[in-house]
Homo-oligomer: A and B are copies of this chain.
Amino acid sequence: MSSPTTARADDSSAPAAGGPSDTAPGTPGADAGRTLARCRALVRPSLSAAIGRLHPWTGEMAAFSFGWCEAGGAPRDPSSEGKGVRQALAVLCAEAVGAPGESAVAGAVAVELVHAFSLMHDDIMDGDGTRRRRAAVWKAYGTGPAVLAGDALLALAVQTLAEAPGPRTGAVVGRLSETLGELVRGQAEDLLFESRPWTGAEAVRPEEYRSMAELKTGTLLGCAAALGALLGGAPARTVTALDLAGRHLGVGFQAVDDLLGIWGDPEVTGKPVYSDLRQHKKTYPVLAALAADTVHAGDLLALLTSSRPLDGERAKRAAGLVEACGGRSATVAEARRHLDAARTCLRSVPLAPGAAREMEGLLGFLLHRTV
């Protein structure tokens, strides 16, 4: 299916934030693309050098996970790499507090390493064999090696920050280690959600899902922003504001991901239509739909708890019921609320106008994305 997410359609009425995700030249999407590319180019040499410090075996798995090579080490077309949102946020936050983007590079490298670590280990835990349309690391190299490569990335992230010159080593390592703890706690919650029922006293409430998303997605984006600000020499109040902006961006980002997981275009997401529903994933739209307790919620529950596979017409019907129960619009509202909160945070402290503009463009792009 090719319809855009409601979040995108809905939020396109707020062009000041970046407008539609169209990346045609001259559009805000193209601006965000340029921002991401500029930051990627700034960070890449240090990220490559960091990976180069690893044992060749774990280094190859890391490069594979970044999309830099095929399994076995053959080079790969770099155009299919990830967006690099976290590194961009770190760089932009340093610039926003008046420092050169270069000052944030160690932080940018660290958050990209932590992100790669978490994807690598989460895919093992979730049994997800595909990541960005390719084999997950554990599928390509085996579970044990993928555990090892994740550990190597995590160690390297801490080492990168611990070795970063400057007076704030303690603070930046502290913020990273807090993030690591929160990431793991969020993943624990997410895994436990799987075995909880869809309804009743033990059901996962939408607020619990949001708390999990704050830990699992929000904390690392907040960390990226905070590290950029800290390494850029920002005062405490600015660090806190940017950290919080990043956290809100992360939760909004997750809400958009959840929308794409059901209504995203398979051509763009690389996943089958209604993917998250087929996998019975407990995501925000479904949980909000069930919590709304409308007349349709019973029908939706019957589909979700049936022993028959949730595919074809049944998946389409489930998606329709999620929408009829208000799950889709609640998730759009959730994304919008966090985008607005992120903007409010950004505007609460004095920032360099150019970087602040780029950051707002990035926010709008990310919450409108269909990729």
Contacts and interface: CB of A to CB of B under 8 A. Distances in A.
Between A58, A163, A185, the greatest number of chain B beta carbons within 10 A of the residue's beta carbon is seen for A185
A54 B186 CA distance: 11
Contacts of A170: 162, 169-170, 173
Nearest to A157: B177
A173 B181 contact: no
B188 A57 contact: yes
A121 interface: yes
Contact of A188 (B148, B169, B184, B188): B148
Contacts of A127: 144
Contact of A144 (B54, B124, B151): B124
A156 B158 CA distance: 12
Interface in A49-88: 53-55, 57-58
A183 B58 CA distance: 13
A53 B184 CA distance: 12
Interface in A125-161: 125-127, 143-145, 147-148, 150-152, 154-156, 158-159
A192 interface: yes
A325 interface: no
A180 interface: yes
Nearest to A174: B162
Interface string A100-135: 000000000000000000000100111100000000
Given A144-B191, A169-B170, A184 B121 contact: no
A28 B155 CA distance: 38
Contact of A155 (B125, B145, B177): B177
Interface in A168-211: 169-170, 173-174, 176-178, 180-181, 183-185, 187-189, 191-192
Contact of A55 (B55, B180, B185): B185
A173 B127 CA distance: 33
Contacts of A180: 151, 154-155, 158-159
Contacts of A57: 188, 192
B169 A181 contact: no
Contact of A159 (B58, B144, B177, B191): B177
Interface string A27-65: 000000000000000000000000001110110000000
B192 A148 contact: no
B173 A155 contact: no
Query: Nearest 3 A-B pairs (CB), nearest first?
Result: A155-B180, A125-B144, A159-B177
20 contacts: A54-B185, A55-B185, A55-B189, A58-B184, A58-B185, A121-B148, A124-B144, A125-B145, A143-B143, A148-B184, A148-B188, A150-B151, A152-B181, A152-B184, A152-B188, A158-B173, A159-B177, A159-B181, A162-B170, A169-B173
Given A154-B180, A155-B177, A173-B173, 6 more contacts: A124-B147, A125-B145, A152-B188, A155-B181, A156-B181, A158-B176
